[in-house]
Homo-oligomer: A and B are copies of this chain.
């Protein structure tokens, strides 16, 4: 147990590690895809810092995948100060954000975010999460995904998984549809040193989450990309992507914050699917695999 004020972990070290994480994830995903290559855009923030947006389009398995690194700073936006009741101070925020849309409806959409925020007055926290959005929920994959996340959590705190899994269920929820976005995962925010964990220990957990991503998704990509599918599955995939759009534009805090604070729109909306559909009052047939998936888009399911 180490107390907060003797931490020597600084923002440059965290930022540099996130840059490296972006590199490693892009390499691993390119390898799993076997064809697509990430293209990079460097951008400057309107205040301080900037980012590296990397997008892979029309790969072998992935239709559109975005891996974004950023490290920005400046005056903390009023919206954050108000929302979180913080004193005025400058801020620094760095992180890696990922959304991947596969070609095949049999491969799930995945999202990950790991981030660090600090203010010039000493306030800081870590946040992040990984969640999986299968177009068709498959028990084996859901078990693999959640078990892996539980292992990641358990190494650091036996209470993390159940806490952060419930948080993900609540966060990745499309209220107006009464559906979860997918099968959830883990979500956490405002983690900082306390009586139990030092800043270094929390950072080690966040790193472990980041490091888990490539293995988890490469496995699911390669395992499912060869499963046959037809037009019916593609239609359903597009409808589910429509729900993904609804979640991101209506509820996602990162998206809203980015758009509200004049962030780089193309990097924020990298998460949008290549092609999404809406059909008025679409109801899958009773007993169909689509209906089965819908019935599993609920909070509180124990996937482990």
Provide the bound-state CA to CA distance between A56 and B135, in Å.
Answer: 27
Q: From residue 210 to 235 of chain A, which have CB atoms closer than 8 A to chain B?
A: none
Residues of B within 8 A of A85 (CB): none
Interface size on A, residues (CB 8 A): 31
The answer on a CB contact under 8 Å between B238 and A245 is: no
The answer on a CB contact under 8 Å between B274 and A66 is: no
Provide the bound-state CA to CA distance between A174 and B77, in Å.
Answer: 20
With A242-B272, A259-B176, A272-B242 given, is the CB distance from A281 to B249 under 8 Å? no
With A176-B265, A245-B245 given, is the CB distance from A274 to B272 under 8 Å? no
Shortest distance from the beta carbon of A217 to any chain B beta carbon, whole Å: 19
Q: From residue 242 to 291 of chain A, which have CB atoms closer than 8 A to chain B?
A: 242, 245-246, 249-250, 259, 262, 265-266, 268-270, 272-281
Supplied contacts A238-B275, A275-B277, A276-B276, 17 more A-B pairs, CB within 8 Å = A57-B279, A64-B280, A66-B280, A175-B259, A176-B259, A176-B265, A177-B265, A242-B272, A245-B276, A246-B249, A246-B269, A250-B259, A266-B280, A269-B278, A274-B277, A275-B275, A276-B278
